[in-house]
Structure 1
Amino acid sequence: MMQQLRKWSWTLCLVVMVVGLTACTNTEDTSAASESMDETTAIDTPVEEAGEAPVASESGTVPAGLPVLNGAATVEMQINGGTVVIEVDGDRAPVTAGNFVDLVERGVYDGVSFHRVVKSPEPFVVQGGDPQSKDPSVSPQMLGTGSFTDPDTNEPRYIPLEIQPSGADSPLYSRTFDEAQIGEPPALTHTRGAVAMARSQLPDSASAQFYFALADLPFLDGSYAVFGYVTEGMDIVDNIEQGDIVESATVVSGIENLQQPE
């Protein structure tokens, strides 16, 4: 009986944490969290803004007008004086990886904070990348609602949900595996050290925010887009606390694989 109770309690905790991914608020202020649940329903952007996200094809055709990574790239992040190495997979997540590498190259992540860290009752995620977090005048309760604004258009850039089924030649766009009734796992799964994009409940609403998986999180597979993995410095990721800063992010190899839209 006690084992069943513990199992039920852990299952409930997982449900709460996944719902927390949709809230994306400062966990230190529960009243603000309850208020912002109406405004922000995911790991990243508000639903109101995400309504302008691009519509992508389900056929595997890469959407136009977005950076694409044709191959691999390596990104190094300096966090708390240590180096976190991320291998970015443009072969199986070309748009998601291209967006991330492009933002790194633009310096978008230099100085952003990690606004959401969930380690209890079990290791879950470390989330950051909100461009608003560079501005000290922005309320901590607003972190988790920001997107990257393209200086060329002065509009937020959103990318489609992009997840490639294992064994497939190209990704599925704009739908979760549940919606598409795909029963196989993704080619890129939420194993410990996975790096994935945060988004709202709308599939095509990811922009700049990303998260590190602190443990194997198979219940997120097919719903959020993994685009790479931490290959060095996972101990540094494990020690990140809310408010810690990305001191710098640099593309150290593979920038030649980044293709900008014409």
Structure 2
Amino acid sequence: MQLKRLASFLVVLAGLVTASVSAYAADPENTMIITLKDGDVTIALRPDLAPKHVAQIKKLVRDHAYDNVAFHRVIDGFMAQTGDVKFGNMNKGFNAQAVGTGGSDLPDLPAEFSQAEHYKRGVVGMARSQDPNSANSQFFIMFAPAPPLDGQYTIVGNVVSGMDLVDKIKKGDEADNGTVTDPDRMIKVRVAADK
């Protein structure tokens, strides 16, 4: 009997979590669409968790700063990192030696860590240096859960469709911390409200 109650509770809880993420995906102002070589990835941004980070991401999207930016660090079974708008644009200024060290002309952001949310498959988080208040433009998409990141990196969204396309992003060299030679890119990035 206890097991049935627990199973019912888990089904209800899963439904609530799905409904919560779906509610964000339904908000075009907080939905980011990344066009990859194989199609579109839709991300529900989470201003409820990280309002400053989401605002900065949307500004960069609307400035077309993320268009043609490489997935410069991709570790199979872990995550795909992109968003270095200074050194990662594959059409102008791509620097294979410096990509991953840059940001944007906008200021770095204070951490907006969440203890309630967890790094699992499809979660989008902000990359940073050792300084917790150094996130700027780079972000990563999780291939799998990574509990050590919980409460240490700002969560800005969740993939709601197209995760199968994220799985196809070219992987990097594990011996070189996931550095990708001839990397895939974000062809175009837009906010759904902007059509």
Q: Same fold (TM over 0.5)?
A: yes
Does residue 103 (structure 1) correspond to residue 44 (structure 2)? The answer is no
Paired letter, 1:163: F
Deviation at 1:196?
0.6
1:195 matched to 2:115: no
The equivalent residue for 1:208 is 137
Match of 1:252 in 2: 192
Report the counterpart of residue 160 of structure 1 in structure 2: 110
Task: Please tell me the residue identity of whatever aligns with 1:214.
Answer: F
Give the equivalent residue in structure 1 for 2:43.
86
Identify the residue that residue 79 of structure 2 maps to in structure 1: 125
Once the 2 structures are TM-superposed, how far is the Cα of residue 100 of structure 1 from its aligned partner?
1.1
Residue of 151, 154, 167 corresponding to 1:225: 154
CA deviation map 1:28-74 (0-9, x unaligned): xxxxxxxxxxxxxxxxxxxxxxxxxxxxxxxxxxxxxxxxxxx9600
Runs (5+) with no aligned partner, structure 2: 1-27, 171-179
Contact (CA 8 Å) 1:195, 1:229: kept in 2 or not?
A: yes
Instruction: Count residues with an aligned counterpart.
Output: 154
The Cα offsets for residues 158-214 of structure 1, whole Å up to 9 and x where unpaired, read as 1111113xxxxxxxxxxxxxxxxxxxxx23221100001000001111111000011
Kindly provide the CA deviation profile for residues 128-165 of structure 1, in whole angstroms up to 9, marking residues without a partner as x.
11111116554312110111014xxxxxx21111113x
Aligned identity (percent) is 36
User: For the residues of structure 2 that align with 1:188 and 1:227, how far apart are their CA atoms?
Assistant: 10
| 1:218 Cα deviation from its structure 2 partner | 1.1
Given the two structures, how large is their TM-score scaled by the length of structure 2? 0.74
Counterparts of 2:93 and 2:54 in 1: how far apart (Å)? 30
Q: Distance in 2 between matches of 1:78 and 1:141?
A: 25
Secondary structure of the equivalent of 1:229? strand
Unaligned runs of 5+ in 1: 1-70, 151-156, 165-185, 256-262
CA distance in 1, matches of 2:62, 2:95: 27
Letter in 1 for 2:160: T
Could you tell me whether the CA contact under 8 Å between 1:118 and 1:125 is conserved in 2? Answer: yes
Q: Following the alignment from structure 2 to structure 1, what is the Cα–Cα distance between the partners of residues 146 and 41? A: 20
- Distance of 1:114 and 1:198 partners within structure 2: 13
CA distance 1:163–1:78, shift in 2 (3 Å): same
Q: Distance in 1 between matches of 2:36 and 2:93?
A: 22
